[in-house]
Chains A and B, each alone.
Chain A
Amino acid sequence: MTGQSLRGSSDRSMLVLTSLAGGPKHGYALIQDIRDFAGLNMGPGSLYGCLAKLEEDGLIEALPPDDRRHPYRITAAGLQVLRERLAESARISRIGLRRIAGAAT
């Protein structure tokens, strides 16, 4: 999956990738982390929908089970896609903020 193809995908996938960029996490930790930094309460259905798609695309991979929990980590491809997507978001954010600042004066 490239940044271009990810553009049309759910922002939740980006949140999962962003969370995993900070280190491997299992489902429960992912939900808590995303709630902390994004303020979004993801349910198990949407979370595992994202995880399955990201794993299928090779952007994340499952680690051996820790107790009963199954942690995931981001792959090199996932980091690359996340970097591209965040850079693009940052560029659009800068443009938007500049225009807002211009409109306010």
Chain B
Amino acid sequence: MNVRWLRWLFVPYPRAWKERYLREMRLLTEELWLSGEATGTRLAFSVLSGGIVERARSTVLRARRSAVLPVAAAMMLGVGLLAMAVHRSPSRLHAAIGTTIGTVPLSAGRSIGARRPSRLVDQPAPLVKLVDGKGGVLGAVPGGDLVGLRGRTPARGGVPALLGSSMPVYAITRAEVVGRVYPGTGFVPRAGTARPDGAAGVTLPDLTGTITPAATARISSLGLAADVVNAHCGGTALGEIGQMSPPAGSTVRSGSLVTLTNCT
């Protein structure tokens, strides 16, 4: 007896289901048909309804799996919003690398600046925190994302300008500055952990004319935070401090930010 007509009954079944069960189910259907134990109508109804149920089940499972996509999209949106917030932030931003950088010193001469920004991605720190000038943590983004900020409108003092210039990178432990990274110099740890008495204040020495790494080390040793910006200076040698703010002789509180202008 010709049982080819049975073939079309299996059309509704999902492909994966067919690969696993089609052969044996067809054999069973043929056996039931040829033995006369079931009528053609009954067989057709059973196989077709089973196919519709399996198809619906497969569709539901696929829909559940596809729920992963909206979650991933939401995460990407979150990262994008963070990047926008960082870019538009009017406060002075610095890139601060996580605590691991303190134990993995960067080699001298390693560029993190504008020419080889991808090097920043190569750093062992898995996450780059963004802090404002007072050490307040504004957020955290992967290092690659931070590099990606380059090329946008270089807001004065903002992250793009920092990445393209002297790139003072703060290595922080719980929002405390423990050292910095300078292009061409590497990681400069903060000297000591004891800070001068904040109530008494710190009188700033005159650092103009000092080479930039030495100046930043001096600032760090005083328990202050140094921010290095690049600028053209007349009459001052390249790589030396041409200007500082607050000026020398000022009394500032411990942990204050001192802006040093590195002459380029």
A and B: bona fide binding partners? yes
B21 lies within 8 A of A43 (CB):
no
A27 lies within 8 A of B25 (CB):
yes
Question: Does A34 lie at the interface of the complex (its beta carbon under 8 Å from any beta carbon of B)?
Answer: no
Name which of A47-55, A79-87, A92-100 contacts chain B. A47-55
B24 lies within 8 A of A43 (CB):
no
B27 lies within 8 A of A68 (CB):
yes
Is the contact region of chain B dominated by helix, strand, or loop, or is it mixed?
helix
Is the contact region of chain A dominated by helix, strand, or loop, or is it mixed?
helix
* Residues in A neighbouring B186, C-beta threshold 8 A: none
Q: Which of B21, B28, B54 contacts A28 (CB 8 A)?
A: B28
Q: Mark out the residues of chain B between 33 and 51 whose CB falls within 8 Å of any chain A CB in the assembled complex.
A: 37-38, 42-43, 45-51
What is the bound-complex CA distance between A70 and B23, given in angstroms? 9
Q: Which of B20, B28, B46, B49 contacts A27 (CB 8 A)?
A: B28
Tell whether A69 pairs with B17 under 8 Å between CB atoms, given A44-B32, A49-B50. Answer: no
The total of chain B residues at the interface (CB under 8 A) is: 23
What is the bound-complex CA distance between A27 and B38, given in angstroms? 14
Question: Does A17 lie at the interface of the complex (its beta carbon under 8 Å from any beta carbon of B)?
Answer: no
Residues of A within 8 A of B (CB): 26-28, 31, 41, 43-49, 51-52, 65, 68-70
Cβ-closest 7 pairs across A and B: A45-B50, A43-B46, A45-B46, A27-B28, A70-B24, A45-B47, A44-B29
Contacts A/B (CB < 8 Å), 24 sampled: A26-B24, A27-B24, A27-B25, A27-B28, A28-B31, A31-B28, A31-B32, A43-B43, A43-B47, A44-B28, A44-B29, A44-B32, A44-B46, A44-B47, A45-B46, A45-B47, A45-B50, A45-B51, A48-B24, A48-B25, A49-B53, A51-B21, A52-B17, A52-B21
Residues of B within 8 A of A (CB): 17, 20-21, 24-25, 27-29, 31-32, 37-38, 42-43, 45-51, 53-54
